[in-house]
A and B are shown apart, each in its own frame.
Chain A
Amino acid sequence: MVDVNTILTILLYGATFGGVLALISSGFTLIFGVSRILNFSHGAFFMMGAYIGIFIMQQLNLDPITSTILSILAVGLFSLIAYYIIIYPVIKNEVMTIIVTLALALIIEQVILLTYGEFGLSYPRMISGTLSIAGVTIPILRLVILLISIATIGALWLFIERTRLGKEINAASQDAEGAILIGIDVNKIFAVTIFISAILAALSGTLYSQMYAANPFQILNSLILAFAIVILGGLGSVKGSIISSFIIGFIYIGTTTLLGARWSEFIALAIIIVILIIKPTGLYGVEE
């Protein structure tokens, strides 16, 4: 029987998982909204964040927080290089953009597999210890992660709404041609957006692997979860994808707790397919 304790656990764990998902999917939908690039390497940026962080900690003996920051910046830099070398030459061709970014993701997956193997790798935690709320024991780490996710999403919102660069990004996402006409350097905006979305993905990857584990197969799994979330939330809508991240987070943790882990992805994806049949544009999507 489902008791209060189980419900509280689902709510809390679902919220933290949803927060991590919101970081991945908001980046994915942001870059799509601005540049119409479907970045299939997004899941690879997510896992690169975790593995580069682990690499820095092992090789340079730095503390988890510094290495996390360095790792996130490294992934951002990598995304810029990938944008200029691989994506930019084919940016006009949507099919090829999907193909090259997917190929890049699989290259990264193979490199990780060859260097770290196929087994999960734990990411040293920033903080340990547990807290008891209404009889439910929860690691403090989860609360911190939830706070970091919410703070980051808030910062992203402030950046887009309040800064000049953010407003330019917003303008380019509404109408790229119009943005060019009023003198916005759209190419620069695309690069900045890729950088931001890669940073969000990498941060999310380091947080995720502190709760669970870094695993090369998460590259495609997380990518597909991000797809599911942005489809549910409506392509290009950051608000929609944040809301649907939490919905998916609760469904995911709910099925894991009540039915077992092997059902979680199956149920989450099946629910999304059903929603798509009923409302194909998603929660906040616009018909194109």
Chain B
Amino acid sequence: MKRIERFWRMQSSDLSYLIGFLMVMAVIPIFLPETLLYILGLTFIFIVFSISWDFLTGLVGEVNLGHTIFIGIGGYVTALLHVPSRFEGTILSPLANIPELPIPLTIFLGGVVAAIFGVAIGLITLRLKGWYFALVTAILPLLFIKATYVFKDLFGGEEGFSVGLGKAIAQDTFGKYIVSLAFMIICFAILYGIKNSKLGLTLIAIREDNTLAEALGINIYLYKVFAMGVSSFFAGLSGALLVHYRITVSPDLFDVPLMLLIILAVVIGGLGSIVGPVIGGFLIYLLKYWVLKVYLVPYIPPAFPLNDDIILYILLIVIAITMPHGIYERLRKLYTAP
């Protein structure tokens, strides 16, 4: 009984911190320069990458190393739907004549297509227990990157292509900031809600003990595929939103450095908590694209083999070794200690 009480108390304290955080985020644009506001907007989208990865890897315990493919799929789907002339001369040429669609609809379609891929990949790879899933998902980003090179006319090769200034989610930085903040809040609320529902408990039960969960009559395969579908849907949505935020799409959306940044954010925040990755994502993205970029990288002597990425990766190793449950769990232990 006591444990249940503590469980609820912790949840409500999470929420109050979160509401405080959001209020600060809503007021802060008045005081910040525009460049920083732009980075903060990107940070919110990055946070959705992180919590959607955590939903599968943290909650269910399947290490998905190809999360970026869903981000990229979402991005390319919405971008291509807004530049349908790229379909001409490819096997998808009937799509070249589609009418102009509203941006929210194409972002949603980006999420749907990513989820279809996610479920299909999950159906194939989650049948096997153990390490296959991690290895197969690690291969997939390279396959997608190579596909953008091979089908250059459609995907624009290494440079990608632009969707055009008129296709931005908002015309000024403040508008973009507000859209991505609202987007993050909605995605967080849904994923956090699922995590705390009976469904979420089922997923955690699967992570804790596959065999026991199966013995209790839980179809672990279907639940894992479901979690993969949800995770890839939100990754697709956020990838699509990112394309309309920075109005370009390119294969870097698929790439390994982004994957590692997501892993870093979630590991630092704490795997499987959904709240932790919000904190981790916030810290890591700002650390990489603002703090290190502005205050450290310009001061490194040119011949010295050190850059912002190396610092982040060393940080990741240190955190993984010293506090494998993340900063969020650390703080929670400090606060709930008797």
Contact = CB atoms under 8 A, between A and B. Distances in A.
Contact of B317 (A103, A220, A228, A263): A103
A231 B136 contact: yes
A266 B305 contact: no
B263 A99 contact: yes
Interface in B32-85: 57, 61, 63, 65
B193 to A, nearest CB: 25
Contacts of B221: none
A248 B90 CA distance: 29
Question: What is the size category of the interface that chain A forms with chain B?
Answer: 35 or more
B331 interface: no
A95 B127 CA distance: 19
B-side interface mostly: helix
B289 interface: no
A38 B135 contact: yes
Given A98-B65, A224-B138, A280 B309 contact: no
Contacts of A130: none
Nearest to B127: A280
Given A90-B320, A276-B124, A106 B150 contact: no
Contact of A269 (B129, B146, B149, B310): B146
Interface in A79-137: 86, 89-90, 93-96, 98-100, 102-104, 106-107, 110-111, 114-115
A100 B317 contact: yes
Contacts of B257: 106
A168 interface: no
A280 B142 CA distance: 20
A272 B132 CA distance: 13
B262 to A, nearest CB: 11
A38 B307 contact: no
Nearest to A220: B256
Interface residues of B, number: 41
A130 B131 CA distance: 44
Contacts of A280: 124-125, 127-128, 132
B324 A107 contact: no
Nearest to A260: B150
Contacts of A256: none
Contacts of B138: 40, 223-224, 227
Nearest to B312: A103
A266 B147 contact: yes
A3 interface: no
Nearest to B129: A288
Nearest to A115: B305
B23 interface: no
Contacts of A265: 142, 146
Interface in B132-146: 132, 134-136, 138-139, 142-143, 146
B99 interface: no
A244 to B, nearest CB: 13
Contacts of A89: 321
A101 to B, nearest CB: 9
B174 interface: no
A281 B307 CA distance: 40
Nearest to B308: A110
A8 interface: no
Contact of B316 (A103, A227, A270): A103
Nearest to B124: A277
Contacts of A107: 310, 313-314
Given A276-B136, A277-B124, A111 B57 contact: no
Given A220-B256, A235-B132, 8 more contacts: A96-B267, A96-B320, A100-B320, A104-B317, A230-B135, A235-B131, A269-B139, A273-B139
20 contacts: A38-B134, A90-B324, A95-B63, A98-B65, A100-B316, A102-B260, A103-B314, A107-B313, A110-B305, A110-B309, A110-B310, A114-B305, A114-B307, A224-B138, A227-B135, A228-B139, A262-B149, A262-B150, A266-B147, A280-B132
Interface of B: 57, 61, 63, 65, 124-125, 127-132, 134-136, 138-139, 142-143, 146-147, 149-150, 256-257, 260, 263, 267, 271, 305-307, 309-310, 313-314, 316-317, 320-321, 324
Closest 6 interchain pairs by CB? A266-B146, A114-B305, A103-B313, A269-B143, A103-B316, A89-B321
